[in-house]
Chain A
């Protein structure tokens, strides 16, 4: 069975949700990892940086967690092609850790926003979207105060050039540049997104499943 590691940082609060979803719905074997530990990650197929408020979002969202001991291991894992997904606060941590370009700033409204949003999948040629058609619309919940993706023009052109923009908002809720909701790295093994696919597998929409099962299909093919 494919093994997934879900990291708990101090202040993570979607770690249990990710563990529950991946184990009971996703059909993965799941291990909870502690941010202060530095385990060998080579046996894992996927590392999840869950949502929440690591270090209370004090200083800057994700900035402190990006310096946690386990992050050195995650960087090595990713550089060897290991799959890493950062959801919400996890996305912020990935940006702060330099695994993804750009940054996430306060929502334009300055308010926290929790609701379902419609997303457009831009590319179906990533391991995360291989079972989703390009331009297909997914409905996933968002819940964040600082999800406005920002990047300089050069960086944006780079994202476009390497087909790194994975999903965009249909009705931009937070003022993200170019409606960006989720991006991956150039080698497409690291994904960061503000919406919560782990919350959309049973109770509300089931569209989150499409992301997990895309990745699972891709990983199983690799094995």
Chain B
């Protein structure tokens, strides 16, 4: 693409189109500027008007999100959202996608995704304390899948491990819709004092604009526009637009920046993410309603002879733009130098509303801030697919005639029911000494040791079910939020807020826009019910290859709080003498379940709608269970239904001889009982003497209690119906297959 830019024979309009600007956008720019933009300016508009930076297709729909609440200190629009956790402390968190780069170059794509989200957090003044990731990969029939999985996992691990932020939880799933478009969504949470929040404001006329961190190179030039295009099979090798990560520099940048913040020598700060110095400078000026004058010659570069265009659009990693007072420049520089980093003065904050940039004494950019930061919104048509009702047909007869054994076996060969241990163990989940519990728990819990006089723990979870979202986007949105809330509640936490990472196909496709707006509606319904806000988020469109979009994947990251010092429940069978029960509806929906997808080799059936009233009751019941102060285990039922949830509890048991007896209650649809997936079904395991008390607690909360069976030391998983054994399987054998299913990726 760079060669095209120096080709002076093409007209400005053609060039604008090549860069991704529409005819309308180009005319809008010329009319307001009263002249044609030059090459560098065109690059600025192309990047800032790209879907990735402008949110031009999605922003008009965000009004639906609840974004306020008593804990909200910072809502959407900044580097991260911030919630008050009491005692003078707050939590900053956000999730971001790095999908396109991770397909082109899995290792660097995933690594720089982690780097970017970490910077978003410490830019706000928060010390990152935990990360999660949501990874969606293609299936094994696509030859690149193993290499993508391996590269992404190593990239995520190497970056996070080196910076020293624990990766404590995640979601990994496989589906052929992600073959040529894997998703890498990275979440980070940090903590900060409520009165030490930093924002991206270029405030104070006469203040100095400072560049800190790594030098600028030609990597990632035009990354933002790449992420706003679909892939085609022929154009898989766009390697030069992928950035390269350096976690060591990031670690130094983080320590130096947090130290400079504590020293009070920073006024405003922003990460140079997508569209590099362009987006950071224009957005900081926009928020503060100021102008900037920047001398591009002062930008530290890795290579000689970089053009204004390249300097402006480079996405070299580990760089920040900040504003400080003239008096504090020297102390600021001293702090960065202590950490072997350079801080360069590159500009000044001025009165007015223009950003001007000079190169070799020439004015190369002179643009009004608003023209760049307030792009035309796109009016995208939206329409529901015509075949929705066909998708909802589930051939129940074909399941009913099959034996339980064959259905069970089908699920036991499912790639999506596998031990994530080989992946998880590559991430340092304990650095920071805050991680409470195990990586297989329903949600990760972190202690906040900064708060001395009260025990405060935060719980986090990331979730999305693309199968449900494809069949019924609104229900998919509901489920992603509801599932996170149940998982947090199982661990004893109260939901406080969410961040989202909305991964979709092309917004120019009306069906994708329909999926998008329906997902937002579903997410909002549950947030309204739980009275929790959406405080930050990210949209990733154009996740499609050759016109085939991925399943709608509205990934949700939720943060909750535990404000007592009671012990947390376990999530495994911690003894061979436990009784276990199902809390919630005995039957679950088969539409969109993992069982149905495995059995029919495609997504089918109408997902059961989340029962809001029941969800509310369940979220009241789970914390009450904890207040009883007796040891117990709790585990949410999701993918694969009751059977998979029970097996997970058994696989994580410390006893190799653990067995379990499961009784199918009378008069029940056994497929729906064993394999159905509906929100608000939770397994509880306890000592049998506790049964009466737990049953009472459930009945008071208005949730159903169904006794399921007992654990024993036979090593067998036995299912009985009406006193007859209908299935018996060796748990250790199942576990060994479950452990090895991902061996193709991690030898």
Contacts and interface: CB of A to CB of B under 8 A. Distances in A.
B205 interface: no
Interface in A105-152: 109, 111-115, 141, 143, 145
Contacts of A57: 162, 248
A52 B166 CA distance: 12
Nearest to A196: B430
Interface string B141-168: 0000000000000100110011110000
A13 B248 CA distance: 11
Interface stretch (A92-100, A159-167, A197-205, A212-220): A197-205
A20 interface: yes
A56 interface: yes
Given A20-B433, A143-B428, A145-B161, A58 B248 contact: yes
Given A10-B252, A11-B251, A145-B161, A17 B428 contact: no
Contacts of B247: 53, 56
B433 A203 contact: yes
Interface residues of A, number: 31
Nearest to A55: B248
B431 interface: yes
* B163, B248, B428: most-surrounded residue (chain A CB, <10 A): B428
Contact of A113 (B338, B339, B425, B747): B425
Contact of A199 (B164, B248, B252, B430): B430
Interface string B102-130: 00000000000000000000000000000
Given A11-B162, A53-B161, A16 B432 contact: yes
Contact of B426 (A21, A36, A113): A113
A14 interface: yes
A203 B436 contact: yes
Contacts of B447: 203
Interface string B246-266: 111101100000000000000
A45 to B, nearest CB: 22
Contacts of B424: 114
Nearest to B164: A13
A190 B428 CA distance: 26
Interface in B339-353: 339-340
Contact of B449 (A20, A113, A114, A143): A20
B430 A112 contact: no
B430 A13 contact: no
B430 A143 contact: yes
A53 B162 contact: yes
A206 to B, nearest CB: 13
A202 B447 CA distance: 11
Contacts of A203: 433-436, 447
A11 B248 contact: yes
Given A10-B340, A112-B157, A114-B426, A17 B252 contact: no
B746 interface: yes
Contacts of B282: none
B161 A143 contact: yes
Contacts of B249: 56
A63 to B, nearest CB: 14
Contacts of B161: 53, 112, 114, 143, 145
Contact of A111 (B338, B426, B434): B426
B710 interface: no
B164 A14 contact: yes
Interface residues on B, range: 20 to 34
B430 A53 contact: no
A143 B426 contact: no
A180 B154 CA distance: 26
A113 B247 CA distance: 18
A143 B431 contact: yes
A198 B162 CA distance: 18
A204 B437 CA distance: 7
B427 interface: yes
B488 to A, nearest CB: 19
Contacts of B339: 10
A204 B430 contact: yes
A215 B131 CA distance: 34
Interface in B724-747: 746-747
Contacts of B428: 112, 114, 143
Contacts of A36: 338
A199 B433 contact: yes
B185 interface: no
Nearest to B167: A114
Contacts of A114: 161, 424-430
A13 B426 contact: no
A29 to B, nearest CB: 18
* B161, B252, B426, B431: most-surrounded residue (chain A CB, <10 A): B431
Contacts of B434: 203
Contact of B431 (A13, A21, A58, A111): A13
A12 to B, nearest CB: 8
A169 to B, nearest CB: 15
A179 B371 CA distance: 65
Nearest to B249: A56
A20 B447 CA distance: 13
B21 to A, nearest CB: 39
Interface string A45-77: 000000111011110000000000000000000
Contacts of B432: 16-17
A56 B248 contact: yes
Interface string B222-261: 0000000000000000000000001111011000000000
Contacts of A145: 158, 161
Interface string B426-467: 111111111110000000000101000000000000000000
A198 B248 contact: no
A48 to B, nearest CB: 14
A50 to B, nearest CB: 10
Contacts of B252: 10-11
B158 A112 contact: yes
Nearest to A113: B425
B131 to A, nearest CB: 13
Nearest to A203: B436
Contacts of B433: 16-17, 20-21, 198-199, 202-203
Nearest to A24: B449
Given A11-B251, A56-B162, A56-B248, A112 B431 contact: no
Contacts of A10: 248, 251-252, 339-340
Given A13-B251, A17-B432, A111 B746 contact: yes
B53 to A, nearest CB: 30
B431 A14 contact: yes
Contact of A141 (B162, B338, B430, B436): B430
A69 B433 CA distance: 28
A57 B430 CA distance: 19
Contacts of A13: 162-164, 251, 431
Nearest to B341: A10
Contacts of B163: 13
* A21, A56, A114: most-surrounded residue (chain B CB, <10 A): A114
Interface of B: 154, 157-158, 161-164, 246-249, 251-252, 338-340, 424-436, 447, 449, 746-747
Given A11-B251, A53-B162, A145-B158, 13 more contacts: A10-B251, A14-B431, A16-B432, A52-B164, A56-B248, A57-B248, A112-B425, A112-B428, A114-B424, A115-B425, A199-B431, A199-B433, A203-B435
Which 7 A-B pairs give the minimum distances between C-beta atoms?
Answer: A13-B164, A56-B248, A17-B433, A53-B162, A143-B428, A114-B428, A112-B426
Interface of A: 10-11, 13-14, 16-17, 20-21, 36, 51-53, 55-58, 109, 111-115, 141, 143, 145, 196, 198-199, 202-204
27 contacts: A10-B251, A11-B251, A11-B252, A13-B163, A16-B433, A17-B433, A20-B433, A36-B338, A53-B164, A56-B162, A56-B249, A111-B425, A111-B426, A111-B746, A112-B157, A112-B158, A112-B425, A112-B428, A113-B426, A114-B161, A114-B426, A143-B161, A143-B428, A143-B431, A145-B161, A199-B430, A203-B434
